[in-house]
Amino acid sequence: MFNKILIANRGEIAVRIMATCADLGIKTVAVYSAADSESLHVRRADEAVNLGDGPSSENYLNIPAIIDAALKTGAEAIHPGYGFLAENAEFARAVAAAGLVFIGPSGDAISAMGEKVTARELAVAAEVPLAPGSNGAIEGAEQVLAFGEEHGYPVLVKASHGGGGRGMRRINSADEAAEAVAAAEREAAAAFGNSEIYLERYLTNARHVEVQVFADTHGNAVYFGDRDCSVQRRHQKLIEEAPAPGLSEKMRKGMGEAAVRLARRVGYVGAGTVEFLVEGEKFYFLEMNTRIQVEHPVTELVQGLDLIAEQIRVAAGQPLSVTESGLPPRGAAIEARINAEDINGGRFVPTPGKITALKVPSQPGLRFDTGFEAGDEVLPYYDSLIGKLIAWGPDRESAINRLSRALDELDIQGVKTTAPAAKLVLEHEDFRATRFNTLWLESTVEFPDVTVEDEDEDDEGDELLARNEVEVGGRFYAIPYFTEAVPGAPVAAGAAPAEAPTNGGAGRPRTGGGRRKAKKAFDGTVKAPMQGTIVQIKVSAGQQVSAGDLLFVQEAMKMENPITAPADGTVGEILVGLGESLAAGAALTTLELEKVNA
């Protein structure tokens, strides 16, 4: 076993790994950016190394700096967590070349399964069912048109070198192809350093079910049950549960055995997740994640395992503690991701800021994995996850009820969170009856439009009331509208009254609410709704635009957010540059509104 491990990550997963290391008597080393110097994972580690200022590419993604930190602190192994370098084959190889142990699969396995086109080829060789897809990467919209002509729409374009919804676009018709391909390539390049994309037939009534696999160096390869991760927005998971409800035992066994065949085919060692799309009694290979998953706690609770400990044991050359596949789950577990996002109107807009209060209910069967304490700041440079609230119960219904009550008692102040959205899902009759798919949350669940603002009177985003959800290029976005009459401004159909609760009345998690107040009329200045980087400028000075036209795209906390025209008018001077990082409320341009005849 190791004496000291460096954790090449931050936030919740870094703190989670440190907890297991402490249980095993292993010292930990944290790495951090200058912006993260006060973060919880830095405080919890036995040692911490500052990797410097700047963007993630200069610290959390800086392979030489991370390896140097491990060598200088005497760490024997590096755990990558998830995200950042966790699925980077170059990093795994560099760690091994430095004489250190990478707590994960080999660089070759990461490369094979991380390159999605190669992974599909391996799946075919391992006799794992596949949905129709392109034969390799595509080079332009023309190939989308040909694929759509053969297989029909909708079609998905996906990043070849990553996952998590980055670089993914749904194309509903031929006229969306060019813009969707360009957007997917741009986002894939920004997220993974490679713009290569490929195609898959989009299944419109599928559930997202994944299988936890594990393999060691002693010839053992097993699966530890399955999870359902179908409740998603923008291809990002909100609710996960184990075991996946409503599946036949034949299907569970079939998916598990297929996942193990794939792991053996690639010579896999360590923890991995094989993801499937499920329709009826058929399942299709989606991808394999060569790391620990965000949602691993639900598997831990129903299998009675510490999956981080298993990773460490396997990396140290020890056999798995459980070498039998398909052990029956003990009860059911369900997890809600608590992100710093404003769900108002279904928009899920990132809300970085300081957490002024964080109180979590403490009762049997509950667990909260987090990277924050009260007083910590959710930074705009990284993803928006605050933590995961997980409940166990002897059956699915009791686990859901326990998590629902816990969400009522969860108290997070200072930033808005996704807790009310999770509450809405848990209390929805479709969810309780297992009538959902990957499109269900965005197409069925209604998120009220209400005005609930912080006490701060000089909120620069004051004029925004709520947003209508629209689909642009195969992804769902939210369009702002305004509280007072603006000539030519869109009217919010069916907006909820101001007194409506933020979670549909099913108990109100206290997550950064505040008093309601009147809003200002649009003053002609188009402003950045949040802190972030301008990644597209779609208009020029003097251009005529209509209400709802796309003006800018701003990236914040790993999500692209469109900024649209609130009314018909003429664009004034463009006040920002491409790639410029802005504070919330920064002026982007002005809009001279069209006159409306009396």
Q: Per residue in 160-216, pLDDT tens? A: 876 667 788 989 999 999 989 998 888 788 777 788 888 888 888 899 999 999 999
Distance of CA 134 to the CA centre of its chain: 25
DSSP secondary structure letters along 88-119: -HHHHHHHHHTT-EESSS-HHHHHHHHSHHHH
The answer to whether domain 132-201 and domain 332-517 are alike in fold is no
3-state SS class at 239 = strand
What phi-psi label fits residue 256: left (phi over 0), alpha (psi between -120 and 50 degrees) or beta?
alpha
Domains of the chain, residue spans: 4-103, 132-201, 332-517
Beta bridge partners of 231: 239
Q: Phi, psi (5° rounding) for residue 220?
A: -90, 130
**Could you give the angle at the alpha carbon of 164 between the alpha carbons of 163 and 165, nearest 5°?**
90
CB 353 within 8 A of CB 346: no
What phi-psi label fits residue 214: left (phi over 0), alpha (psi between -120 and 50 degrees) or beta?
beta
Q: Per residue in 53-91, pLDDT tens? A: 998 989 999 999 999 999 999 999 999 999 999 999 999
Match domain 332-517 to its CATH number in 3.30.470.20, 3.30.420.10, 3.30.460.80, 3.40.50.10490: 3.30.470.20
Among candidates 356, 336, 348, 324, which has minimal Cα distance to 406? 336
Beta bridge partners of 285: 130, 276
- The letter for the amino acid at 310 is E
Spatial distance between the Cα atoms of 17 and 468, rounded to a whole number of angstroms: 40
- The letter for the amino acid at 549 is D
Spatial distance between the Cα atoms of 256 and 326, rounded to a whole number of angstroms: 7
Alpha-carbon distances of 339 from 13, 384, 412, 420, 440, rounded to whole Å: 14, 5, 11, 11, 19
Side-chain-facing half-sphere of 139: CA atoms under 13 Å: 0
Residues in the chain, pLDDT under 50: 451-508, 510-519, 597-598
Q: What share of the chain is helix, strand, coil (3-state, %, to 5)?
A: 25, 30, 45
Helix or strand (DSSP H, E) at 493: none
Q: Per residue in 533-578, pLDDT tens? A: 898 899 999 999 998 899 998 887 667 788 999 889 999 999 999 8
CB 172 within 8 A of CB 154: yes
3-state SS class at 571 = strand
> What tokens were used for 297?
């706690």
DSSP secondary structure letters along 313-379: HHHTTPPPS---S-PPP-SEEEEEEEESEE-GGG--EE--EE--EEE----TTEEEEES--TT-EE-
| pLDDT at residue 583 in the model | 75
Among candidates 521, 453, 524, 518, which has minimal Cα distance to 484? 521
Q: Phi, psi (5° rounding) for residue 346?
A: 80, 20
332-339/236-242 β-pairing: antiparallel
Q: Where are the beta strands (DSSP E) in 65-216?
A: 77-79, 101-102, 155-159, 169-171, 197-201, 207-215
Q: What is the largest CA-CA distance in the chain?
A: 82
Cis-peptide, bond into residue 243, ω within 30° of zero = yes
User: 116-125 and 249-265 helices cross at what angle (nearest 10)?
Assistant: 110
CB 194 within 8 A of CB 230: no
CB 39 within 8 A of CB 394: no
Among candidates 86, 82, 69, which has minimal Cα distance to 33? 69
Among candidates 35, 92, 29, 100, which has minimal Cα distance to 63? 92
Say which CATH topology domain 4-103 has.
Answer: Rossmann fold (3.40.50)
| pLDDT at residue 468 in the model | 44
Distance of CA 163 to the CA centre of its chain: 9
pTM: 0.77
Domain spanning 132-201 has what CATH number?
A: 3.30.1490.20
Spatial distance between the Cα atoms of 330 and 337, rounded to a whole number of angstroms: 22
Spatial distance between the Cα atoms of 474 and 141, rounded to a whole number of angstroms: 14
3-state SS class at 404 = helix
Among candidates 79, 68, 126, 87, which has minimal Cα distance to 103? 79
Residues 6+ apart with CB under 8 A from 365: 391, 392, 393, 399, 402
| pLDDT at residue 520 in the model | 56
